[in-house]
Amino acid sequence: MDAPTERTRVKRLNKRARYDEETVHGILDAMPICTVGYVFGGAPYATPTLQWREGGHVYWHGSSASRMLEACEEAQVCLTVSIIDGFVMARSAFNHSCNYRSVMVFGTARKVSDPAEKEARLRAFTEGLWPGRWDMLRQMTAQELKATTVLSLSLDEASAKVRSGPPGDDEEDYALPVWAGVIPVRQQVLSPVDDPRLMPGLTPPEHIRRFKIG
Ligand SMILES: Cc1cc2nc3c(=O)[nH]c(=O)nc-3n(C[C@H](O)[C@H](O)[C@H](O)COP(=O)(O)OP(=O)(O)OC[C@H]3O[C@@H](n4cnc5c(N)ncnc54)[C@H](O)[C@@H]3O)c2cc1C
């Protein structure tokens, strides 16, 4: 992955480009929401869904009846993840920007067909977000497993783009009496809310209390 391909070479503002595994993996691991881009019936779609990473692959899942998953299987896709870290307020409208971390992955999506492997991937998805939860849950039935499709995409062809820091204004604009700086943005996890049908006496376990993203 470390070297860009023709497709992943960042052209616009390429000083923000990163191709190293640590950066790409770090962004994917920090944000479970992705957008999967694919073509269906000759038209482009960009579907938001959840993703998780294991080693050099990213995975996503859903109902076996999902059109998105069916259209992506064995097809060329582009999966993106983005995290906004701040609004960058400059002294001119033109120089406003965002602080962000984002990843784009290209490749052919493959279906995880073997039921045992599929279950292992789903377990890793759950455990990655909430360590210790899978073993607390009722086991997945064969029917539930069959009703779920898991797709994988190699991270061999991926790029990251990262912006951080203050605005970059035109030199003469620094003399203007306009407030400039960064409005930091963070996605915040709030206190868990009990299900109204929760069995009495149960409190959120550690993996719920410690959950965070971003
Ligand atoms: C939260 C957020 C807000 C943004 N707001 C704007 C905006 O308002 N206007 C704007 O023009 N751009 C914005 N960007 C940047 C945008 O994602 C593109 O990088 C930019 O528009 C250049 O697109 P391009 O097709 O010319 O890139 P090119 O440099 O031609 O793209 C070539 C290759 O570089 C890689 N690449 C490009 N962009 C990214 C990326 N963001 N992450 C990972 N790899 C990438 C891909 O592999 C791509 O195939 C924003 C990004 C984020 C994450």
Looking at residue 3, its pLDDT comes to: 82
Work out the percent of the chain whose per-residue pLDDT is above 70: 100
CA distance 171 to 77: 42
Long-range CB contact pairs, 167-172, < 8 A, 24+: 167/88, 167/89, 167/90, 167/91, 167/95, 167/96, 167/97, 168/90, 168/95, 168/97, 169/90, 169/91, 169/92, 169/95, 170/91, 170/92, 170/95
- Which segment of 43-52, 96-105, 205-214 scores lowest on mean pLDDT? 205-214
Alpha carbon of 116 to ligand 1 centroid (Å): 38
Alpha carbon of 157 to ligand 1 centroid (Å): 16
Question: Which residue among 35, 95, 161, 185 has the greatest number of ligand 1 atoms within 8 angstroms of its CB, and so is best to mutate?
Answer: 161
The rounded mean pLDDT for the chain is: 96
Q: Please say whether the beta carbons of 37 and 57 come within 8 A.
A: no
Looking at residue 79, its pLDDT comes to: 98
Using DSSP, state whether 185 is helix, strand or coil.
coil
Atom of ligand 1 nearest to the CA of 84: 1
Length of the chain measured in residues: 214
Looking at residue 21, its pLDDT comes to: 96
Q: Give me the residue label for tokens 């691991």.
A: 29
In Å, how far are 21, 22, 80, 93 from 57, measured between CA atoms?
Answer: 11, 14, 13, 39
Q: Please say whether the beta carbons of 80 and 103 come within 8 A.
A: yes
Question: Which residue among 12, 14, 98 has the greatest number of ligand 1 atoms within 8 angstroms of its CB, and so is best to mutate?
Answer: 12
What's the CATH class of domain 14-209? mainly beta
Looking at residues 15-38, what average pLDDT do you find? 96
Task: Look up residue 59 and give its DSSP letter.
Answer: E
Alpha carbon of 101 to ligand 1 centroid (Å): 10
Within 8 A by CB and 6+ apart from 41, the residues are none
Atom of ligand 1 nearest to the CA of 14: 29
Question: In this model, does residue 1 exceed pLDDT 70?
Answer: no
Q: Please say whether the beta carbons of 92 and 173 come within 8 A.
A: yes
Q: Give residue 145's pLDDT band: very low, low, confident or very high (50, 70, 90).
A: very high
- Which segment of 10-14, 23-27, 68-72, 165-169 scores lowest on mean pLDDT? 10-14
Give the full edge-to-edge strand order of the sheet including 148-154: 52-54, 57-63, 148-154, 110-111
Who lines ligand 1 at CB under 6 A? Answer: 7-8, 10-12, 82, 84, 98, 100, 102-104, 159-161
CA-proximal residue: ligand 1, atom 3 (nearest): 98
CA-proximal residue: ligand 1, atom 14 (nearest): 98
Looking at residue 33, its pLDDT comes to: 97
Alpha carbon of 103 to ligand 1 centroid (Å): 9
Looking at residues 171-199, what average pLDDT do you find? 97
